[in-house]
Amino acid sequence: MKRLSIFALGLAGSAGLVGAVAAAAADRAGQVPSLSAWLGKEPFKTIDGTTFLEHPVTVAALRKAVLDARVRQTMLVAASNPYQPVEQHGLELATFGCRLHACGDYAWTVYVDPKKQTARVCYHEPAMGGRSRWYSPTGATKMVDGDTCPSSGQ
């Protein structure tokens, strides 16, 4: 079983790599556990050869929602970034993360709807000032007031 690279997701700007990531995710779709297996666990915990953030459903949903490869890379490339355990929020599973040693400046929350196979994301970085960007499941973005993203229990 081939392991899908988070780094590949972050660099999915080239057409060839995008196709390769999508193909790998599709190949693994029937071989991975349900996303609910990560409830209460860190999103980088490996379960049956994959992580929550490498799961084919998460990968495909994030590619549709967050069109900016730089933002995806910031969120996903470094497994050393602090993340909170995956929580249930209504029909969605969510995890909050931030940049190591800069959590006040770089923060994000990833919400995945396993049934719809969609994601929405809140992302904040210093250049945004007192606002944060929300990415919808369709890739549309909206700036909202607030200099951070929802964290655990919000």
Q: What is the pLDDT of residues 95-128, one digit of tens each?
A: 999 988 888 888 999 999 999 999 999 999 999 9
Task: Check whether 38 has a pLDDT greater than 50.
Answer: yes
User: Helices 56-65 and 69-76, interaxial angle, to 10°?
Assistant: 140
Q: Tell me the pLDDT of the chain averaged across its residues.
A: 82
pLDDT of residue 20: 46
* In the chain, domain spans: 6-145
Nearest Cα residue to 84 out of 148, 152, 154: 152
Element of type H or E holding 112: strand 107-113
Q: Are 114 and 34 in contact (CB under 8 A)?
A: yes
Model confidence at 3, pLDDT cuts 50, 70, 90, reads: very low
User: pLDDT digits over 47-72, tens only?
Assistant: 999 999 999 999 999 999 999 999 99
Q: What percent of the chain has pLDDT over 70?
A: 76
pTM of the model: 0.78
